[in-house]
Structure 1
Amino acid sequence: QRNNGGPNTRLNGKISRGGEGFLGTVEFFPQEGKYHFDGHRKCGVVMNPIETARHGGKCPACGKPLTVGVMNRVIGLADRVQLEDRPRRKDFVSLIPLKEILSELMGMGTGSRALEARYHDLIKKGGPELWLLSEASLESIERIGGASLAEGIKCMRERRVHVQEGYDGEYGHVWVFGPGVTSLGSPGASLFPDLPKGKVKEETLKPRGLLDFDIRDLAALKQAAHLSHTNSRNQADSMNQVPPPRGAAHPNQASLLDNNLEQTSRPAQAPGGKGSLQGKAQEGEDSNRAQPRSLREPTEVVAGESLNEEQRKAVEYEGGPLLILAGPGTGKTNTLTHRIAYLLKRGIPPENILALTFTHKAAEEMRSRLGRILEAEVARQKEAKGAEQKEAEEARRVKIRTFHSFGLDILKEFHPRFGRSESFILLSESDTERILKSLAAKGEKIEESPGLRTRYKEFLKELDAFDMDDLLQLPVVLLEEDPETRAEFRRRYTHLFVDEYQDVNEPQYRLLRLLAPDASSHLTVIGDPDQAIYGFRGASVEFIRRFTSDYPRATVLSLSKSYRCPEAVLKAARQVIEAGTAGGRVGTGNNFQAKREPRQAMNAASASVKMPQENDREVRVGAGPMEPKNPGARDIGSRGKGLSPLEGLPGDLKIQISHHPSDAAEAEFIARTIENLTGGFRFFSMDSGVSDGGSEEYDPGEIAVLCRTTRQMECLEKAFHDHAIPYLKVGERSYLQEEPVASLLDLARLLTSPRNAYFKTIVSQRIQELFHRNWIASPLSPEEIVKKGKKGLSSKSLPARGVLENLIEALGFTESIQRSFDMERLFALAQDRSLSEFLYVAATRSNQDDLPYRTSRVTLSTIHGVKGLEFTGVFIAGCEEGLLPYTLFSDGKEPTYPEKTEATEAIETDRRVVNRLVSREDIDEERRLFYVGMTRAKRYLHLSWAERRFLFGREYRLGPSSFLLSIEEDLLKRLDPEYKKRPLDRQLSLF
């Protein structure tokens, strides 16, 4: 028998014959991989997935999170618990390199000359290595290599081997005879005549399976952990001791069992306490001792969950318009969602509730929380199964929308009013820009041409399309001009909820005033004036500030306890905000400006608009100055008047601040610090002392590096690459607007309107651009795009993912281009959506929607991009005058510079470049932006600035931001990294 020696025989014979397609897998033992099992390298702890789950994902030696290995990830993704569930599965063979077997036999390293010589001698006599390891008969191996070698290969084929699994960067090992054991040679002809004669070590091992544990054993653990997680999350969500899903649960823990099992949440730690990044642990510190009783002891409201007294009061409020002022980490979304659940419990029909927010992610989070609350309510009341289904159905019937998606719903319902068909098209912002340019006459400025806008609107009608502005503006026009429709919408949505009210713009404000016109309206808005940062999009903080002027009988409540931010962070952020009111100074540097320059958007908003109401009053809609309608009304300023100041978590946290000679040095410092915080990503991290392997406090997904502009990220990306730090970049635009995804979406959109001449033209242009860039292999015509995109798919409801996969295959996108964008993220968005639905969602997404709920990568983002999120550790890079506040270019446009001249060289080092006069409200918004960035941090905050920075093709020397000067010294810990001075050039001159 040629192929004696083990279960590999079936595959072995196929290997030699060939020509049978895919036969199976031949590889080395995967246990040798350096991240095969879970573990903690510093403590020498290694665990399989079952052991990891039993220990809660923590190292039993030091209590820190374990580094989760590949096997755990695979188990989390597996959809089977038995390998035998697939009887036609292909064979899987594991081998040990011949040199490693010889190394055991000869007792020397694989690189030794003696072993190398005997390896080649064996190959010469016996044939190729793969043949010897998998197919050669044991008799022939014994003749040329001795009994020990034959026995070793036999044990390998039967998988009777000794294994030490790799973990946490430590490579694993596989031995035939066991670690430290040298098998003795055998009599007879042998390659090893110099070895003593003897017998192979007598030890019978059982054959190792592909898995050394039973996946089914995880079922009980999974069920228990899921129940524990559900109960604890229901309570912890209410107290906001758990961050939103984005950064809360440790991603490693989340994958312990499967993708749906999350870590049981832990209460927020006081900075400087156990697990803090600052100093030594302070054991025994009572983080609740400084909290008032009403905040420390939660009150049950609905669903067996807990709310503090302020949250409970907001949830149970009975009356008309309500404004809830909620600072960072105070639980505004949770409070708003509980209030919706409370109204449902009180009998308000779900169809009469409308909740509006700004991002798809926020809307989805609100739906998810509402569903959990209602499910817990059913569980508490121990109702029948039918009742549980009813509660779940109620959650689905509550309309939770973004402003844009709600506007889209209205346009779909009333499309004939605007001269559109039922299958109208939604144009993207790039479409709008492209069409306006094509319609503009030579020299005609788009911003200053009313005639161009008129031609544009007529073109949209011909195209049977709406643009993004129409989603907000046309519903307002409809409700203003049609009293019956306005009355119908007020009857339809009797209870309105608005999240992030400080971010509404003029059309959104007008829409809300039309739906909720007076004191009888059940309107609940929640927000924070100190986090209004979207003025460049037309939003205005004035709308939330004058809420009590719009609704004189409104009630204003405040959530004053932050369950996210340490007290030091809140105090420092507050000082930055308050510094803007000292002396009424405007501008930067030594230049100040007394007068206020209102934004263009607010000029437009201050127009008087006739808003039909029951008593036919005229209401002035806008952001201009307005006196309260009665002495009891007041404008809402920062935190409001007479409201409790925001209270953070106690502790001795110090905000770290550092300065660096250049932006490259700053980026290098941040990368090295992240390595230290996470335990490092390379062997070099430990070996060089960058990390001691014991600082694995945080997963990379718990860390964010924030910048004012995307132009600052180049140095940081290079540093992350150099240090092998995985990161997720979030720019100022969604990845759906970047190439080649934007082109792919244009091609897909053609399938919804295959006869549309405009789209045919656009697709033809896109195809040529992609082909000339060498991104695709086949320049197809629009007709071929439609045909191949629909190939094999239902014509009634085209599945979006199927269309995208067809187009990528038909066009022949190169592998490098497919790797350049996150294709799986695009497919996940398209999953279970029709093509039309997918295109609507894609058109209305923002860059904030791009962030996954969980990631094991460091987040690299603009400050705007992380609004509403939180991270354990936050770095804010580029805290320099001119960047924060962003006053380098007063018009907000990034310049294109000519070649350097003597004049431009002088500007590069002249600090006056940042002393341009800007409006006070611009500077105030920059202060609020810095406030938002600082208050993303839960346990660690680092601010840094560079003496020299290279931006837009030029070098700037800007100096530290004036915002840093607003923070009192007692809250800061200044770091002074040492940088070696560059040695003098000793090269002799030729002259």
Structure 2
Amino acid sequence: MYIADLHIHSRYSRATSRDCTPEYLDLWARRKGISIVGTGDFTHPAWRQELEEKLEPAEDGLYVLKEEYRIKDETAGAAAAPRFVITGEISSIYKKHDRVRKVHSVILLPGLEAAECLSRKLETIGNIHSDGRPILGLDCHDLLEIMLELNSESIYIPAHIWTPHFSLFGAFSGFDTVEECYEDLTPYIHAMETGLSSDPPMNWRLSALDGYQLVSNSDAHSPAKLGREANLLDMELSYKGLQTAIQTGEGLMGTIEFFPEEGKYHYDGHRKCHLCLSPLDAEKYSGKCPVCGRKLTIGVSHRVEQLADREEGFVLPGAKAFESLVPLPEVIAASNGHSAASRKVENQYYEMLSALGSEFSILRELPIEDIQKVSGRLTAEGIRRLREGKVERRPGYDGEYGTIRLFDQVELDGMDGQLSLFTGIEMAELSRMETAAAAVAVPDHLSEQGEKQSIGGTVDAGGDEAAFHQLTSGLNPQQEAAVTAISRTINVAAGPGTGKTKTLVSHAFHLLEGRGVKPTEMTAVTFTNQAAREMRERLESQLGGKRFVSRMRIGTFHSICYDILKKSGMEFTLADEVEMKDTAEEIIADRELNLPAKQFLRQVSARKCGLEKEAESVPAEAYEAYQRKLKEQRILDFDDLLLETLHLFEEEGKNKTLRQGFSYLLVDEFQDISPVQYRLIQEWNKGGRELFVIGDPDQAIYSFRGSDARCFEKLREDYPQITTICLEQNYRSTPQILEAASGVISQNDGPERRLIPQRQAGTPVRLVTASGEMSEDIFVAKEINRLIGGIDMLDAQGHLEMGDDLRARSFSDIAVLYRTNRQAELLETCLKKEGIPYVVAGREDFLMEPAVRGTLCFFKALLNPEDRTARRLSLKLLWKLPEDEMSGSIFDAAALKYRKKMKKEKPQKLLEAWVSDMNLQEEEGVAKLASMSVFYKNMAEFLDNLTFGQESDIKRCGGKTYTSDSVTLMTLHGSKGLEFPVVLMCGVRKGLIPLESGKQDIDEAEERRLFYVGMTRAKDELLLITSQEPSPFLKAIPEEVTTRENAGKQRDPGMGKQMSLFDFMQP
């Protein structure tokens, strides 16, 4: 018979002992009498390296510690060397079926090679370096699928399936059924880990678990905790034998269990108020602490009661045997009046091991008489009672371990002062706990509610949003007026969160379905590719398919113009930024102009956009020379796309085919159009039937691109018969967020703003002051940890103790906003150290690096062989070669290979091969480009989005290549048009908001609008984080809707805390 403990952790996991090394795991396995011990943490590279160094193969798939590393110790006896099997635990935090899920999984592998293979894959998904138990925003279904694809011999076990915060059936973030979590892969789950707070009889109450093997493990965070729970095996000593036992039950004889009451989440309760309640008692208080009113932590017993379809006491026919034990030091402690951690108990424990053998043999097998000769009468009596199950159980609750008593008080009084497993302090604690519930009367409203409720359903950490969703499902009168309006020109002023997108899409739908407009007569212009995609998807959903909607033109100004010019027969290629810069430098050098190329190009663009004032320093002759260069090479820049399209319509004004698609023109984000785009709108809709524009002058934030908030005034001047409708009901943000944002924007000129909140009151806007930029970013990382309810069990427990009753968020609920891209660099470092998955949205400087530009040009040339500029630039930037016959053969050889691969492989795979072939492993920019590519199905889509996409269209995974649930990092500009339940805005300080660049005057009104845009992205929670000298804009926020705090300060100064990685980084 073998004893196996398969779920443990190394010293590389958070909150573990530094003794969690192969040497000490081997030592304690021998002391305990454990034959097979899991390595734990196989994903951590340093731990795998240590295992490679210190273990050597034994039986198939098993390892032993090398002799030179074995610790000689008489307390460990001469037992056979324990076997190691490669194991690890993965923490998955993700969103599924509109709820945040936090589930832990135990994985067993047939060897270190398999561990290396799976780890390499997981490293492309998330950070596996910062914690031995990595946190991934990865659906458990997908994790299981990846594991099976890479190694079919792997074993997957849902970990401690009842733990409230991190498990399959967890009350706060789990599922109600196995199938809900694993879907079609459910048949590949064969075993369940019961966890410390449940035992087999509790699991027998669910008929849905009858077909699964029940296994138990210690989840030890220190070697001395090995074997708290374990498995009894009678099998061939090999990985295959272990696999058969776990997957089929053949050879699995039973389990060694904690008493479930000892588990720290067995009963319901509130640790801070010393309140422990049974499920039925908790129901009387409607799940709230009657002492302080906060939510009770729902225990395993309650959760089992919710899901059970059998009565308590049911015995499953043919079930495996199990034994309930208490660690030997705790039994010894009951006999000497000291705690289990005292030196006297430790000395007696080691004495018993030296004289009698392993701990399990003492607790389970040795005759009591033999034990008594070494331990004395009382300890021997305690072991006898333990074997017979004669124990008094006091359940654990809300993170507090339960306790087991072997002697009652009368016996103790007659045993020379011998005490129970409780110390005096613990007895006093119990006394308070037992009397707390009785001392508090059940409030009437809770009592009535409790009578109406029955135990059932999953505990939801958040509020009920059904009523809110129902409120927003229809159109309000103003929206309906906008949707059904019939007028030559319709102007909809839509403030943030007033349902702008819904109104725009509904208007398009009404035109198509309600008024019978043909899709070929309609064009919708959006500001971003994402908005165009969302509009198309919504219309497809409402109209029942893609075919009808595909005939309607939907896109950004630039993508629509590009399409029009190509269809008109114009031959051109789009200018590459590097080529534009080179051309600009040539013009500047020839004319000895005193300005950098970047400024030259910015002023050329201003001239094309009609912003003559901003274009003053570029001489007309230099401008014309630049344009001649582009024309000679048949190149158009982005401004030329618009101008050439405008000229085409002006010259072919009577071409009905050209104008057909613009009879009904819809324009989104009207406030951000430039003068050229305004002229395009006029020209496109000349002779048209209807023009529908929607936007908000208070969100005009692109003056540097030529946009002007006064475009609405110009529209009213040019179209005096205009119909104007205002949307004022805000469905997005809480009243506190709206009042704070309104206080800011009201400082700008203009009519009184009206935004009427439709949400119930929420939490105040939090103004957080840090000591510096590093302190700001560390606070952000810790706050994200808090918002998701803790990244591990210690975090989750800490947040409960500090009274954090807020609903748990998923990573994708959270956005971190900042003024400049530079601010993201330090922020990314902090998030990586905390193991928080993230995505960076926006154009970054690395896109201009030669290796990145050369790579993009190479694939552009493959997709469009006529693009000679892209071909020439790829040769120049990658191979440092001119375009000639010799270099052409080099390019053609690479093109031949990748043209074939491009037809069948996704961009991510293409770039992985490209990096290897071109020896670009040291190019960080190319690695970031690969991180962008994971969001796209093919290279054409990827390049198209990089070409025409706005800030929010362009995303990069933070150090991973898998599109999993992540926090979003983006600039304030990039956030426009988006919304998030939680927004954290960094750098709200003087010099950044408003931005003081030193190169040009501050447009304070626009900077204030930009700040307003960022604030109004928040739905439920808004945190404004500052340091040094706060932004002057903060003065306009009403004090009554804010709360002020200092970063890093404990909310409850009396509470202890777990050290974070960042505690060592603080300045």
Fold-level similarity (TM above 0.5):
yes
Query: Shift in Å at residue 426 of structure 1?
Result: 1.9
Residues 201-246 of structure 1: per-residue CA shift (max 9 Å, x gap): xxxxxxxxxxxxxxxxxxxxxxxxxxxxxxxxxxxxxxxxxxxxxx
Among residues 728, 745, 748, which one is paired with 2:856 in the alignment?
745
Residues 419-443 of structure 1: per-residue CA shift (max 9 Å, x gap): x2xxx42223343223322444342
8 Å Cα contact 1:736/1:742 also seen in 2:
yes
Q: What residue number does 1:810 align with?
A: 917
Among residues 475, 499, 514, which one is paired with 2:683 in the alignment?
514
Report the CA distance shift for 1:711/1:41 in structure 2 as closer, same or farther (over 3 A): closer
Q: What residue number does 2:18 align with?
A: none
Among residues 966, 972, 980, which one is paired with 2:1042 in the alignment?
972
Residues 538-561 of structure 1: per-residue CA shift (max 9 Å, x gap): 211121233211110000001111
Amino acid in the other structure paired with 2:583: I
Among residues 1029, 1032, 1047, which one is paired with 1:962 in the alignment?
1032
Q: Where does 1:206-225 land on structure 2 (aligned, <5 Å)?
A: none
Report the CA distance shift for 1:761/1:82 in structure 2 as closer, same or farther (over 3 A): same
Query: Shift in Å at residue 15 of structure 1?
Result: 8.3
8 Å Cα contact 1:325/1:639 also seen in 2:
no
Q: Secondary structure at the match of 2:621?
A: helix
Q: Secondary structure at the match of 1:325?
A: strand
Query: Shift in Å at residue 458 of structure 1?
Result: 3.2
Among residues 475, 483, 492, which one is paired with 2:653 in the alignment?
483
Mapped partners of 1:940, 1:150: distance in 2: 47
Q: What residue number does 1:371 align with?
A: 540
Q: Secondary structure at the match of 1:342?
A: helix
Q: Structure 1 residue 531 and structure 2 residue 640: aligned?
A: no
Residues 847-884 of structure 1: per-residue CA shift (max 9 Å, x gap): 21025998522222211111111111112222222221
Residues 366-403 of structure 1: per-residue CA shift (max 9 Å, x gap): 0011111223xxxxxxxxxxxxxxx6422221111111
Report the CA distance shift for 1:169/1:784 in structure 2 as closer, same or farther (over 3 A): farther
Amino acid in the other structure paired with 1:743: G
Mapped partners of 1:469, 1:150: distance in 2: 64
Q: Structure 1 residue 493 and structure 2 residue 574: aligned?
A: no
Among residues 728, 736, 743, which one is paired with 1:560 in the alignment?
728
Mapped partners of 1:864, 1:710: distance in 2: 10
8 Å Cα contact 1:763/1:782 also seen in 2:
no
Amino acid in the other structure paired with 1:788: A
Mapped partners of 1:560, 1:393: distance in 2: 35
Query: Shift in Å at residue 44 of structure 1?
Result: 12
Q: What residue number does 2:34 align with?
A: none
Among residues 648, 673, 685, which one is paired with 2:795 in the alignment?
685
Q: What residue number does 2:490 align with?
A: 322
Residues 279-337 of structure 1: per-residue CA shift (max 9 Å, x gap): xx8x9x9988xxxxxx9978xxxxxx732221111111112100011111111111111
Amino acid in the other structure paired with 2:639: D
* Deviating more after overlay: 855-864 vs 347-356: 855-864
Q: What residue number does 2:531 align with?
A: 362
Mapped partners of 1:489, 1:154: distance in 2: 67
Report the CA distance shift for 1:182/1:685 in structure 2 as closer, same or farther (over 3 A): closer
State the number of aligned residues.
685
Q: What residue number does 2:549 align with?
A: 395
8 Å Cα contact 1:30/1:36 also seen in 2:
no
Q: Where does 1:433-832 land on structure 2 (aligned, <5 Å)?
A: 433-442=581-590, 443-444=592-593, 445=595, 446=600, 447=603, 448-485=618-655, 488-517=657-686, 521-581=689-749, 637=750, 645-682=755-792, 685-686=795-796, 697-733=808-844, 741-752=852-863, 758-767=869-878, 783-791=889-897, 793=899, 801=907, 804=911, 807-814=914-921, 820-821=927-928, 823=930, 825-829=932-936, 831-832=937-938
Q: Structure 1 residue 839 and structure 2 residue 943: aligned?
A: yes
8 Å Cα contact 1:639/1:645 also seen in 2:
no
8 Å Cα contact 2:699/2:1010 also seen in 1:
yes
Q: Secondary structure at the match of 2:720?
A: coil
Q: Structure 1 residue 885 and structure 2 residue 994: aligned?
A: yes
Query: Shift in Å at residue 691 of structure 1?
Result: 7.6
Q: Secondary structure at the match of 1:762?
A: helix
Query: Shift in Å at residue 889 of structure 1?
Result: 2.5
8 Å Cα contact 1:104/1:182 also seen in 2:
no
Query: Shift in Å at residue 821 of structure 1?
Result: 2.5
Q: Secondary structure at the match of 1:483?
A: coil
Mapped partners of 1:544, 1:727: distance in 2: 37
Query: Shift in Å at residue 412 of structure 1?
Result: 0.1
8 Å Cα contact 1:64/1:696 also seen in 2:
no
Mapped partners of 2:966, 2:874: distance in 1: 35
Report the CA distance shift for 1:131/1:465 in structure 2 as closer, same or farther (over 3 A): farther
CA RMSD of aligned residues (A): 5.7
Q: Secondary structure at the match of 2:817?
A: strand
Mapped partners of 1:791, 1:479: distance in 2: 42
Report the CA distance shift for 1:163/1:925 in structure 2 as closer, same or farther (over 3 A): farther
Mapped partners of 2:1022, 2:256: distance in 1: 43
Q: What residue number does 1:408 align with?
A: 562
Amino acid in the other structure paired with 1:674: I
8 Å Cα contact 1:275/1:697 also seen in 2:
no
Q: What residue number does 2:972 align with?
A: 863
Amino acid in the other structure paired with 2:579: D
Q: Secondary structure at the match of 1:933?
A: helix
Amino acid in the other structure paired with 2:782: R
Amino acid in the other structure paired with 2:791: F
Query: Shift in Å at residue 961 of structure 1?
Result: 1.8
Q: Secondary structure at the match of 1:943?
A: strand
Query: Shift in Å at residue 469 of structure 1?
Result: 1.9
Amino acid in the other structure paired with 1:944: I
Report the CA distance shift for 1:69/1:971 in structure 2 as closer, same or farther (over 3 A): same
Amino acid in the other structure paired with 1:789: A
Mapped partners of 2:947, 2:787: distance in 1: 38
Mapped partners of 1:437, 1:169: distance in 2: 68
Mapped partners of 2:1019, 2:770: distance in 1: 25
Report the CA distance shift for 1:61/1:538 in structure 2 as closer, same or farther (over 3 A): same
Mapped partners of 1:114, 1:60: distance in 2: 21
Q: Secondary structure at the match of 2:984?
A: strand
Query: Shift in Å at residue 357 of structure 1?
Result: 0.7
* Deviating more after overlay: 31-40 vs 354-363: 31-40
Amino acid in the other structure paired with 2:969: L
8 Å Cα contact 1:705/1:874 also seen in 2:
yes
8 Å Cα contact 1:353/1:398 also seen in 2:
yes
Q: What residue number does 1:924 align with?
A: 1005
Which structure carries more relative contact order (alpha carbon 8 Å, separation 6+)?
1
Mapped partners of 1:497, 1:64: distance in 2: 47
Report the CA distance shift for 1:110/1:666 in structure 2 as closer, same or farther (over 3 A): closer
Report the CA distance shift for 1:757/1:529 in structure 2 as closer, same or farther (over 3 A): closer
Query: Shift in Å at residue 562 of structure 1?
Result: 1.0
* Deviating more after overlay: 661-670 vs 498-507: 661-670
Report the CA distance shift for 1:152/1:760 in structure 2 as closer, same or farther (over 3 A): closer
Amino acid in the other structure paired with 1:348: V
8 Å Cα contact 1:324/1:526 also seen in 2:
yes
Report the CA distance shift for 1:72/1:61 in structure 2 as closer, same or farther (over 3 A): closer
